[in-house]
Amino acid sequence: MRQGASFDVLVVGSGAAGLAAAVSAKRAGARVGVASKTTLQACNSAKAQGGIQASFGDDDSPAIHAEDVMRSSHDTADPKLVQILTSEAPSAIRWLEELGAEFTRQGPHGPNGQGHSVNGGYRLARCGGATRQRLLQVGDRTGHAITKALRDTYEAGRGVELPHHALRTLTPSNGGWVASFETKEGAADVEAATVVLAAGGRCFAEAETRGELSTNHPNATGEVTRIALDAGAQTRDLDALQYHPNGGAWPSTMQGYSIPETTRAYGAVLRNADGDEFTDSLGARDAVSAAIVAEVEKGMGVLTPDGRPAVWLDTTKISPEDAAISLPYMLRRYRGAGIDPLAEPIYTYPVLHYQNGGLVIDEHAETTLEGVFACGEIAGGTHGRNRMMGNSLLECAVFGRRAGKAAAERARS
Ligand SMILES: Cc1cc2nc3c(=O)[nH]c(=O)nc-3n(C[C@H](O)[C@H](O)[C@H](O)COP(=O)(O)OP(=O)(O)OC[C@H]3O[C@@H](n4cnc5c(N)ncnc54)[C@H](O)[C@@H]3O)c2cc1C
């Protein structure tokens, strides 16, 4: 066993949550290390396309955002965490902008040329379960833009990177923690006063077990949750896994692709074999997924050319202008596969996507283990048993920032 480095704050995971925690801990003066199972770039966060929620709308507020989260979660979310998520959303967006993320803007001035800013100047879309337009986007590569900004900021400082470090165990030691990793050179121990667990969810591994498709990156395997459980941490809602209503079902190269929910925000509707819109296309995720499955079970679905169950997502309703601004990546992917979503509807069916529950955390993102913090998809409570679109990237930014700061402060005490 090699003796590795020693840190004030060790962050496990290099998605949006881990990077936000690392930047925040470093800014709070801590010696920080970021460990990641493979490269720092490999994560679910970078795959996120649709956007991130924050209440910038002139008719919106953090309180309305919080009501939408609680309703979408069927009142299973932790109201204290939801209040933090929604009230800190606008400042988290400003923070990400300061670090280099450039959210799509629209019409910097209000109507009538009066010079006031509408919706903070942002292009906002309404996502499933939301009562207001609240989704900020960076085209349809929002997760890529956010993780790149965070990673560039972290790499510009003196923080240490530990790629190809897969966490295997976490053990208390001398008032801090020892993390044992598997590396390319064999096992290595790393000491840290505090640890931030930001290793994401488990839907890639879960889909393999179920023999289903998943939107997730192959690193989303969930062993860090099990490691925390072995160390004595508490979890909640771990059984609540979310299906993305709109998995790509055809062509085969798009199977497992998550068609951005922004397609529906910009006018696409779900249709059955008869061409009827059979559900509220902008309902909460669990409701829309259940409606698609029920429609197929009733015999009102369609079959893909390779015999998979599906319904139609009528993307021909999206205006070319909206598509050019907010869906260029999706259009490129489909057109590259020989289908133009603006000219014909596309096949879709729900696909395993997100781990709603996870490690129990308090308002500083501390788990039930002293000195061990958790943020992002690995943590539970913020979304209860049903997450709204656009609130995961937000959770990464808001609670990643909190976790990093609190972990740095605790390491000093
Ligand atoms: C295709 C897709 C589209 C999405 N679109 C949106 C969207 O538009 N808006 C939104 O809000 N959310 C979206 N989501 C959800 C959101 O992107 C993720 O839930 C969120 O980014 C998770 O961030 P994270 O930092 O918690 O985890 P991840 O980004 O998954 O990062 C986990 C990190 O932990 C590392 N890791 C895992 N195991 C270990 C280990 N044993 N040791 C060391 N490191 C480990 C991984 O390598 C990785 O670096 C989308 C997700 C997907 C897959």
**Percent of the chain's residues with pLDDT above 90:** 91
> Do the Cβ atoms of 389 and 128 come closer than 8 Å?
yes
pLDDT band at residue 93, thresholds of 50, 70 and 90?
very high
pLDDT at 80 over 50: yes
The pair of three-digit structure tokens given for residue 355, joined into one six-digit string: 């781990």
End-to-end CA distance of the chain: 30
Q: At what angle do helices 62-72 and 79-87 cross, to 10 degrees?
A: 140
Cite the beta strand spans of 124-268 per DSSP E.
135-136, 160-162, 166-173, 176-183, 186-197, 235-236, 241-248
pLDDT band at residue 407, thresholds of 50, 70 and 90?
very high
Among 93-97, 116-120, 262-266, which stretch is predicted with the lowest mean pLDDT? 116-120
Active site members: 285
Query: Please, what is the average pLDDT of the chain?
Result: 94
Average pLDDT (287-307) is 97
- pLDDT for res 117: 60
d(CA 268, CA 264): 4
> Do the Cβ atoms of 44 and 36 come closer than 8 Å?
no
pLDDT at 239 over 60: yes
pLDDT tens for residues 206-225? 999 999 999 999 999 999 99
Average pLDDT (67-86) is 98
Rounded-to-5 percentages of helix, strand, coil across the chain = 35, 25, 40
The values of phi and psi at residue 86, to 5°, are -80, -35
> Ligand 1, atom 21: nearest CA belongs to which residue?
45
CA distances from 295 to 26, 255, 285, 369 (A): 51, 20, 15, 45
pLDDT tens for residues 361-400? 999 999 999 999 999 999 999 999 999 999 999 999 999 9
Average pLDDT (334-359) is 97
- The residue whose CB lies within 8 Å of the most ligand 1 atoms, and thus the one to mutate among 150, 393, 394, 398, is 393
- pLDDT for res 106: 85
- The residue whose CB lies within 8 Å of the most ligand 1 atoms, and thus the one to mutate among 181, 257, 392, is 392
- pLDDT for res 3: 63
Say how many Å lie between the CA of residue 247 and the centre of ligand 1.
17
Q: For residue 252, what are the contacts with CB-CB under 8 A and spacing of at least 6?
A: 306
- pLDDT for res 5: 85
Average pLDDT (224-228) is 98
Contacts 24+ apart (CB under 8 A), 87-91: 87/62, 88/398, 89/53, 89/54, 89/55, 89/62, 89/65, 89/394, 89/398, 90/54, 90/55, 90/56, 90/62, 90/120
Ligand 1 — pocket residues by CB below 6 A? Answer: 12-18, 35-38, 42-45, 47-52, 142-143, 165-167, 198-200, 215-216, 219-220, 223-224, 258, 354, 376-378, 389-393, 396
Say how many Å lie between the CA of residue 169 and the centre of ligand 1.
21
- pLDDT for res 34: 98
